[in-house]
Chain A
Amino acid sequence: MFNLTTIEIDAFYLTLKVAFFSVAICLPLGVITAFTLSRLNFPGKWLLDGLVHLPLVMPPVVVGYMLLLLLGRRGVLGSWLYDTFDITVAFTWKGAAIASAVMAFPLMVRAVRLSLDTMDRGLEVAARTLGASRTIVFLSITLPLSLPGILTGTILAFARSLGEFGATITFVSNIPGETQTIPLALYNFTQIPGDQTPAIRLLTISVVVAFAALITSDLLARKVKNRLGTKFEADQ
């Protein structure tokens, strides 16, 4: 039962690759966006806030179709990317990573922003009275103290990417070895009547990956908590 076929192995590695790059896109942009929304005031802030949250409230298929219109070979951005850099994202694994990143982005921003909003802003002021510039304050105080939120955001984004289906299948289709991640492969198998073993194998892989991610995040969270010394905060 556990002799994996090429399709399944490909799907497994592809899923991890897509999720990894999706998080890699989400993380820096998400932290910057969360900081912008939490700390800065500027006209049109509501618009940015809305745009960031759009993928959370729209059907994933709609998001995928919008991505296709925007980033497809003949799309506004897509044709420019192709003409200038010879890059194609539609119907490639890069496109799958982008689709996952867009779907995961609001989760990342929300988690980081929550942690920035609840942070004691007085600590940042205190750091400035000690001679630290805004940049130093961000790097040495704000960022380390929002680590729990960043970690939560990363896990949520990673999980969201592992499970991304609607936007992916619409934007980059279901091509084995290129864009067929585990959920897409599983969908394929369930469409074929007969032997359920391949589908169940994929299901098992899915559960194992998800569990591994959960355990890793738990270990990391504990480490961060110890470093921030929050263990004793409850007694005060």
Chain B
Amino acid sequence: MISAEFVVERDDFLMDIKLEIPSTGATVLFGPSGSGKTTFINVLSGIIKPMSGLIKVGKATFFDSEIKINLPIEKRGIGYVFQDGRLFPHMSVEENLDFGRKRSNDRTSRKKEIIELLGLGQLLQRKPSTLSGGERQRTAIGRAILSGPSFLFMDEPLAALDFARKQEILPYIATLKKNLKIPIIYVSHQMEEVVRLADHLVLLENGKILDHGQIFDIINSPSLRILLGKDDKTSLINCHVDKQTGKDGLSKLIFPGGYFFVNQRNLVPLENVRIELKAQDVALALEKPIATSIANILGASVAKIETSKDTHCDVLLSIGNISIWARITQQSASKLGLKIGSPVFALIKSAAIRPF
């Protein structure tokens, strides 16, 4: 657990933080540029010294302005993946990987595992200047992990990459999160990274924390929608892949109280996945359609109706033990005569479900 309470003042920027971050899973710091996300992890890692405050990680005190403790960066036992990689240009990929490893307590066989996990085997003898952006970032991630950190900080590690490279690296980070059990604090202003990686979400704006908590609680919070500047609703659902899968190309994803079919073949049976479902991809019907191309027809009941100033309304549906949002027009809502508790069918195209 990280407990952080500090004040940073720079030029005309004031940051005033009081926050606890759990030491499991990935915590994403989300906010527009200039909101203080990077400053936040720079304070935690010791790169920026706050004016006052108290920062504790587990039992260790990193910073305490009362008794003048300011643990130097190298003694904090953290890993840091910078936006620009910051590989040492005079060292090969392998020497870069070894730089932190040599100084960590944990010099065991992790190296082989990490090299394999990040696909670095072919690159070990190369110099950073000969690597592509994606390869560099993978090396930087491996280097930080091999230093044996108790927390891994990642400052928009994908920001400098183009779309294709992002798609290349994101799965590596997701696997890392799953396999390594190192708590990650991840700075991002991309919703895609948030829905894919975050277990906890901290919303920052102007050096203040707007909201924070479990991703499933925060994902549809009003503060996030204000930050994003649009009122799209989305549902995140944890599922696991059914053991029989892939015969007709559709995978079956089981959630508490039901299942979805998704149009994806390469899912590993019994693996846990998270799916994102946008509210506008969910349609409603009062009767179960018989002849339809839609693969997912789920019995649901209306839990909540939020009418917007616009022409649409958002309907929260209970299906089994989960909730999903559906966005329909106000005209349709009155045509169907929806009320709290109405039984309906949720219609979801398999292509609309995006598993991570």
Contact = CB atoms under 8 A, between A and B. Distances in A.
Contact of B86 (A123, A230, A236): A123
A229 B86 contact: no
A229 B88 CA distance: 10
A139 interface: no
Interface residues of A, number: 24
B47 interface: yes
Contacts of B66: none
A145 B143 CA distance: 19
Interface string A87-130: 00000000000000000000000000000000010110111111
B127 A129 contact: no
Contact of B82 (A126, A229, A230, A236): A126
A129 B73 contact: yes
Contacts of A141: 88
B127 A130 contact: no
Interface size class of B (residues with CB under 8 A): 20 to 34
B109 interface: no
B74 A233 contact: no
B127 A133 contact: no
Interface string B97-131: 00110011000000000000000000000011110
Contacts of B130: 229, 232
A227 interface: yes
A229 B127 contact: yes
A140 B103 CA distance: 13
Nearest to A226: B127
B72 interface: yes
A144 interface: yes
B84 A130 contact: no
A231 interface: yes
Contacts of A233: 89, 129
A131 B74 contact: yes
A87 B43 CA distance: 54
Nearest to B99: A130
A145 B87 CA distance: 12
B129 A231 contact: yes
A125 B90 contact: no
Nearest to A129: B80
Given A126-B80, A130-B144, A228 B89 contact: yes
A131 B100 contact: yes
B141 to A, nearest CB: 13
Contacts of A123: 86, 88-89
A127 B129 contact: no
B88 A127 contact: yes
Contacts of A236: 129
Contact of A128 (B73, B82, B90, B127): B73
Contacts of B86: 120, 122-123, 125-126
A229 B47 contact: no
A133 B90 contact: no
Contacts of B89: 123, 145, 228-230, 233
Given A129-B144, A232-B129, A145 B72 contact: no
A77 interface: no
B99 A127 contact: yes
Interface string A128-170: 1111110000001100110000000000000000000000000
Nearest to B79: A129
A123 B103 CA distance: 17
Contacts of A140: 99
B45 interface: yes
B128 A229 contact: yes
B147 interface: yes
Nearest to A123: B86
Which 8 pairs show the lowest CB-CB distances between chains A and B?
A: A130-B100, A131-B103, A229-B127, A229-B129, A129-B80, A126-B86, A128-B73, A232-B129
20 contacts: A122-B82, A123-B88, A126-B86, A126-B88, A127-B88, A127-B99, A129-B45, A129-B78, A130-B79, A130-B100, A130-B143, A131-B100, A133-B72, A144-B90, A228-B89, A229-B89, A229-B129, A229-B130, A230-B129, A231-B129
